[in-house]
Amino acid sequence: MWFGADSILGMQTKRAYRFRFYPTPEQAMTLARTFGCVRVVYNHMLALRSTAWAQRQERLGYHASSAALTALKKTSDYLWLNEVSSVPLQQTLRHLQTTFVNFFAKRTGYARFKRKDGPQSAEYTASAFRWDGRSLKLAKMAEVLPIRWSRQIPKAAKVTTVTVSKDPAGRYFVSLLCDDVVVQKAPASNCVGIDLGLSHFATLSTGEKVDAPQVFRQHEEKLAKLQRRLARKQRGSARRAKAKLKVAKLHAKIADIRRDFLHQLSTRLIHENQVIAVESLSVSNMQKNRCLAKSIGDAGWAEFVRQLEYKARWVGREFVRVDRWYPSSKRCSHCGHVLTKLPLSVRRWSCPECGTDHDRDINAAHNVLAAGLAVLAHGETVRPECMSVDAQWLGSVKWESLSL
């Protein structure tokens, strides 16, 4: 909710601050035991719930899993589960319950077993950590975590949950989830439409074209070389573990560079514009094209749109998704004429009605912005076959007045 009537302070929201830390040998051993216990409990309860459904068509919920965990910790084979904090073990049951809820709601696939060599994490609630505003200490640890504070956490922010994780590259991270207040920015005077692509990551309605970083393509040859070396190593050997770590570190580097690019671009667009309109894309369906799947995955469109959406909500900007079936590339942004066909290979075209020469991507960005403004004004869909009488205003509007 927004605070104040005349002077708006900000929006109360959940916000996570993520930092890297370098544990001491004792802390690393404690975390390794905790990660292992969390993984074992998750896999054990997943197998228990799957078996109950397969054999008896019985759904075991969170409370049944919690009771099963209590009984499991009393058995002689699993007494070592008591050596770590009970909070992360209880939290993993909640995560498993959430996974099943999403599965039955058809929002995700069936739960998978956690791997020992995959990403590891453990979640601590308020009763299992101590935060004094400057240092963090977890349960079962004698010393505070040696965190590299890359930014300050606001004093007014209340830390509610701490998640410690270790990625396949061997790096440790801690994420502090806070009840925070995000200050709303002053209204901006600009609006922008964004057309996402592959040769250029984003084309803006201002005419600016942002080159795609193509991070994976730049490191593809080196990654293939490291993966070939890994494939030749004997399973279970120390050399295979070293080769696997090198592959994981390169994957982490690629992901970090891509994430940094997306954050910088999305933050700049949010700061400069009051309205941001972007075309909705079904990335998962587009990746079924085996010729373009690698480039689409390398671009990171879905993550970019996600960042734009939550950052706009935080600072009081208007974020609009335009229907994926809206003919943004085939519609003339000057007169509104729609071509019947426009092959992907055609990058420039002239309107047969008004004679305006168009750059395909810039024209699409203009149309995305115009459609986004129309959606804000009328609250209607812009999908041609679903247009209501009010939404048909898009076909008769003076397009040059909306294209900006």
Give the residue numbers annotated as catalytic, written as ranges.
195, 279, 361
For helices 86-104 and 62-73, the axis angle rounded to 10 degrees is 150
Cα(376)–Cα(368) distance, integer angstroms: 12
Element (H, E) at 365: helix 360-378
Residue type, position 55, single letter: Q
Q: Which residues are bridge partners to 338 per DSSP?
A: 331
Sheet holding 120-125, edge to edge: 120-125, 158-166, 172-183, 10-21, 147-148
Task: For residue 179, give Cα distances in angstroms to 19, 164, 376.
Answer: 17, 18, 30
| Interatomic CA distance for residues 375 and 402, integer angstroms | 12
Tokens of 252: 């982490």
Q: CB 50: neighbour CB atoms within 10 A?
A: 15
User: Which two three-digit tokens encode residue 197?
Assistant: 């692509």
C-beta separation of 69 from 45 below 8 A: yes
Q: Which stretches does DSSP call E strand in 46-183?
A: 120-125, 129-131, 136-138, 147-148, 158-166, 172-183
Longest Cα–Cα distance of the chain, Å, equals 82
User: Would you state the structure tokens that stand for residue 334, as one six-digit string?
Assistant: 């000057």
Cα separation, 399 vs 404, in Å, equals: 9
Residue 212 near residue 198 (C-beta atoms within 8 A) = yes
Angstrom distances, CA of residue 102 to CA of 59, 61, 98, 106: 14, 13, 6, 6
Query: Do residues 48 and 68 touch, judged by C-beta distance below 8 A?
Result: yes
- Check if the beta carbon of residue 280 is closer than 8 Å to that of residue 322: yes
- Rounded to an integer, what distance in angstroms lies between the CA atom of residue 342 and that of residue 247? 42
Contact 333, 403 (CB under 8 A): yes
